[in-house]
Amino acid sequence: MSEQNTLDLRATVLTAFQNQFGNNATFLARAPGRVNIIGEHTDYNDGFVLPAAIQQGIYIAGRARDDVQVNLHSLDFHDKASFSLDQLKDDSLPAWTRFLRGALWILTQECEDLRGLDLTIAGNVPGGGGFSSSAAVEVAMMEICSGLFGIKLTQREKALLGVQVEHKFIGVRTGVMDQMISALGEADHAVLLDCRSLETRSVPIPAGVSLLACDTMKRRELVTSEYGKRREQCEEASRILGVKALRDVTPEQLAANADKLPEIILKRATHVVNENARTLQVVDALGTGDLATVGKLINEGHTSLSKLYEVSIHELDVMADIAQHTEGVIGARMMGGGFGGAVIALVYDEAADSFAAAVKQKYDAATGLNSIIHRTKSGAGSSVEKL
């Protein structure tokens, strides 16, 4: 994931559109993937998260049509697909069109102005690594359609429409984190998001700190069914405790009511309640430059996800353990939904290269897999430009 690559991609998508459709694109949209510093499995509990948009993302070049025909052209899949706006739910169409069709379907429910369109799509977010490439596709689609059809949407509305794609079209009840940070990211900052009020606060990433995403190259399995189960267990905990969401419970209140919850529900709730507290503590510690506390809380977050929330797997535990014990580290933990994907490590700049080399060498030797350690940089949220 390099910056050079990102600049090239913009030009590549525009040229490919021209070649494919014999005409210039009129709008270009871009939406980034993300990393998450802390606040995992808290978003659907109305809690706090601290993600950062990355510089890599999805680019879509587009041009509106006068009919209801949709022509999609994917550079990553080396494929094309054509269908009409009333065929958006046709699952015999290629699998790579699913999130794109989902975004169009949600927009057809929301506004009457949608017509056909020609689109070329490409991205440089590593798929399946837990960098939220699908949320980036959804938000990029909201951007390009808002440009092409003059649909007035705020960044929050674009993000929430992206979440609707997951809930109503894909059938996964995700939280709001991925789409919100894709739409609202900021260069050199992480964003503290209150997933209940949707208020955001920019949190500067301290100078001298690098964000390394250590991809285990173990691809996610089970994630959809286990994700749904975790969400139901949290809802059960809230019901028993008589609160709207686990956001409303402090660690002290949970301890005082522990005997009311079945063992497994208590484990899940303990993770969420403590993770919310950890997220706010990390924000405070970043503010005062107390990186030792930041690191300790991030490492605790991993143990909690692994032992209490049980969304880690062997490879993520191995990667987190290696990263936590490699020179230059501040803290490291698994990132995203779990069951595969990447570990996020905060590392001192001057140690970043040697850290990346050492972690890769140790992890690959321990697992026989070919990990990729990405040096990410936080970047701006999504946008659309008129060409």
List residues binding ligand GLA (CB under 6 A): 40-41, 43-44, 132, 174-175, 177-178, 336-337
| C-beta of 147 vs 331, nearer to ligand GLA | 331
| C-beta of 94 vs 228, nearer to ligand GLA | 228
| C-beta of 177 vs 313, nearer to ligand GLA | 177
| C-beta of 41 vs 63, nearer to ligand GLA | 41
Minimum CB separation of residue 66 from ligand GLA in Å reads: 36
Structure tokens at 30: 């871009």
* C-beta of residue 375 within 8 angstroms of C-beta of residue 214: no
β-bridge partners, 213: 344, 374
Cα 127 vs. chain centroid, distance in angstroms?
11
149, 117, 123: which is closest to 31 by C-alpha? 123
Minimum CB separation of residue 363 from ligand GLA in Å reads: 22
| C-beta of 132 vs 274, nearer to ligand GLA | 132
| Phi-psi group of 50: left, alpha or beta (phi > 0 → left; psi -120 to 50 → alpha; rest → beta) | beta
Tell me the C-alpha distance between 310 and 21, whole Å. Answer: 48
Minimum CB separation of residue 252 from ligand GLA in Å reads: 24
Task: Clarify whether 349 is annotated catalytic.
Answer: no
The catalytic position among 46, 118, 178, 321 is: 178
Minimum CB separation of residue 152 from ligand GLA in Å reads: 26
Structure tokens at 130: 């837990």
Nearest 10 degrees: Cα torsion 162, 166, 168, 169: 100
Minimum CB separation of residue 337 from ligand GLA in Å reads: 3
Nearest 10 degrees: Cα torsion 172, 178, 183, 184: 140
Q: Which residues are designated catalytic?
A: 178
